[in-house]
Amino acid sequence: MYSEELEKLFARRGIAPGDRIRVTVKGRTLEGILMPRPEFGDSGAMVLKLPNGYNIGMRIGSRAKVEKQGGKKTTFEFPKAKLGRKEGLPEVSIIATGGTIGAKVDYETGGVHWLLEPGELLYAVPELKDIANYGVINLMSIGSEDMGYKDWQEIAKAAAKELSRSRGVVITTGTDTMHYISAALSFMLQGINGPVVITGSQRSSDRGSSDAFMNLACSARIAASANVAEVGVCMHATSSDTYCSFMRGTRVRKMHTTRRDAFRPINSPPIANVTREGEITYTDEGRVRIEDGGRELRVLKGYEPKVALLKFYPNSDPEILDYYISKKYKGAIIEGTGMGHIAVSPHDSRYSWLGHIKRAVDSGMVVGITSQTINGRVNPNVYTNGRLIAGTGAIYCEDMLPEVALVKLGVLLGNHRRREAAHLLAKNMVGEISERSEVGQQL
């Protein structure tokens, strides 16, 4: 409920949430749909959904004019389309897991809750019918920030099952941890022979600027016809609706909170670009699909959740490593600065990480070093601090993203002995690390 004052005003005007209203304050007029009061918002500020899809909260004085507009009360519901079948089209499986792409506005809170009915999206993206025949699995309905390794394992299992009968798989997820999910599936699904396309949307489907429909169409195009055998993320490549990029699952990162082109390829070009109409252009990055099979899909089932991702920063407390040792963690990825540097000789030795890293390695923890710059390659051999840290047995992770290193270490420790996991951490497995550009070792 809004404040008593506002509720009285609405009652007088016969206005209720969902109605289109017009507010005039000091000669300025705004039109929009009245939303219910947000759970933690200011009860004296009314919330309008503007035609551009944004919500605006406004306190209005007694001189403001509030009028009810005509038109249907908003319910934000799409009609549904029935899933038909067309002969000759490839099979594509859609696995829905939750997230904005399947979200609708919830009138109780004025926010967005997880709901997905595939028929609605098929109605909204009519060309899907001409791209493939679909099997739709509503696997789970979880916001990606609430997902963990058990969800990844469940998705991997479902994807493997679908891959055995489909040409490609589209997995819809929330965007917040989409690049962790894509990294997990990249390592868990070994030897795939078709596209596994992870997609979602930055803006929900009830907004004019929603990217849900184009992302889904482009993902279906990749799954149905791209000549790749890769796990990747397919999302808007630009902030307008020009085309999408299919980016390797271990080389992509959410780089903006709200932009539609938030997912950027890192340290490696996209595998392909794809238009909504189905034009696919490839870089030479991706593994190709073998037409008649010939690869054996193997799901790596284990995952070790006791791996930590830590960030080094000035005056950061290196005893955090001892905390993880005491909690019996098996691995840790440290985001160093620059080429993977961490304080070794600060004025105040309490802030030196060297002894703590050595203790962690000696205790059996696999410690990987990455960079918080996100782009570029770590290198322990340029400066003394790097050499000292590498000397403890910590492993410099080349040009692998910190988040990818975290997930990779979880998969490695869940399926291999410590020694083998440490050996594989900085070795390329599925395209997550690239060779250095010079012969020999660049120091």
Which residue, 134 or 353, has its beta carbon nearer to a second copy?
Answer: 353
Q: Counting contacts by CB under 8 A, is residue 381 touching a second copy?
A: yes
Instruction: Tell me the closest approach of the beta carbon of residue 272 to a second copy, in angstroms.
Output: 24
- What would the two tokens of residue 174 be? 């929330």
Which residue, 233 or 339, has its beta carbon nearer to a second copy?
Answer: 339
Q: Counting contacts by CB under 8 A, is residue 426 touching a second copy?
A: no
Q: Which of residues 168-197 bind a second copy (CB under 8 A)?
A: 175-177, 180
Interface residue with a second copy among 126, 191, 293, 376 (CB under 8 A) is 376
Q: Which of residues 69-128 bind a second copy (CB under 8 A)?
A: 109-113
Q: Which of residues 262-291 bind a second copy (CB under 8 A)?
A: 262
Separation of alpha carbons 383 and 389, rounded Å: 10
Which residue, 190 or 316, has its beta carbon nearer to a second copy?
Answer: 316
Q: Counting contacts by CB under 8 A, is residue 409 touching a second copy?
A: no
Instruction: Tell me the closest approach of the beta carbon of residue 76 to a second copy, in angstroms.
Output: 15
Q: Counting contacts by CB under 8 A, is residue 379 touching a second copy?
A: yes
Which residue, 69 or 349, has its beta carbon nearer to a second copy?
Answer: 349
Helix 149-163 vs helix 178-188: crossing angle, to nearest 10: 60
Quick count: other Cβ atoms within 10 Å of Cβ 407?
Answer: 30
Residues near 284 by Cβ (< 8 Å), separated by ≥ 6?
none
Q: Counting contacts by CB under 8 A, is residue 429 touching a second copy?
A: no
Q: Which of residues 7-46 bind a second copy (CB under 8 A)?
A: 35, 38-41, 45
Interface residue with a second copy among 373, 418, 426, 434 (CB under 8 A) is 373
Q: Which amino acid belongs to residue 338? A: G
Q: Counting contacts by CB under 8 A, is residue 385 touching a second copy?
A: yes
Residue showing tokens 């007029």: 29
Q: Counting contacts by CB under 8 A, is residue 369 touching a second copy?
A: no
Interface residue with a second copy among 145, 277, 279, 362 (CB under 8 A) is 145
Count of CA atoms in the C-beta half-sphere (13 A) of 376: 11
The closest of 347, 348, 365 to 356, measured between CA atoms, is 365
Residues near 127 by Cβ (< 8 Å), separated by ≥ 6?
217, 276
Quick count: other Cβ atoms within 10 Å of Cβ 436?
Answer: 13
Q: What is the DSSP annotation of 414-427?
A: HHS-HHHHHHHHTS
Q: Residue 404: helix, strand or coil by DSSP?
A: helix
Q: Counting contacts by CB under 8 A, is residue 395 touching a second copy?
A: no
Helix 418-425 vs helix 402-415: crossing angle, to nearest 10: 150
Instruction: Tell me the closest approach of the beta carbon of residue 292 to a second copy, in angstroms.
Output: 37
Instruction: Tell me the closest approach of the beta carbon of residue 397 to a second copy, in angstroms.
Output: 12
Interface residue with a second copy among 189, 218, 229, 342 (CB under 8 A) is 342
Phi/psi at 196 (nearest 5 deg)?
-115, 110
Instruction: Tell me the closest approach of the beta carbon of residue 386 to a second copy, in angstroms.
Output: 8
Q: Counting contacts by CB under 8 A, is residue 349 touching a second copy?
A: no
Q: What is the DSSP annotation of 95-151?
A: EE--SGGGEEE-TTTSSEEE---HHHHHHH-TTHHHH-EEEEEE-----GGG--HHH
What are residue 396's DSSP bridge partners? Answer: 369
| Residues assigned a catalytic role | 100, 175-176, 254
Q: Which of residues 246-265 bind a second copy (CB under 8 A)?
A: 254-259, 262
Which residue, 134 or 324, has its beta carbon nearer to a second copy?
Answer: 324
Q: Counting contacts by CB under 8 A, is residue 55 touching a second copy?
A: yes
8 Å CB contact between 189 and 161: no
8 Å CB contact between 211 and 258: no
Residue length of the chain: 443
Instruction: Tell me the closest approach of the beta carbon of residue 363 to a second copy, in angstroms.
Output: 17
Which residue, 176 or 230, has its beta carbon nearer to a second copy?
Answer: 176
Interface residue with a second copy among 73, 328, 375, 420 (CB under 8 A) is 375
Separation of alpha carbons 169 and 332, rounded Å: 32
Q: Counting contacts by CB under 8 A, is residue 351 touching a second copy?
A: yes
> How many binding residues for a second copy (CB under 8 A)?
96
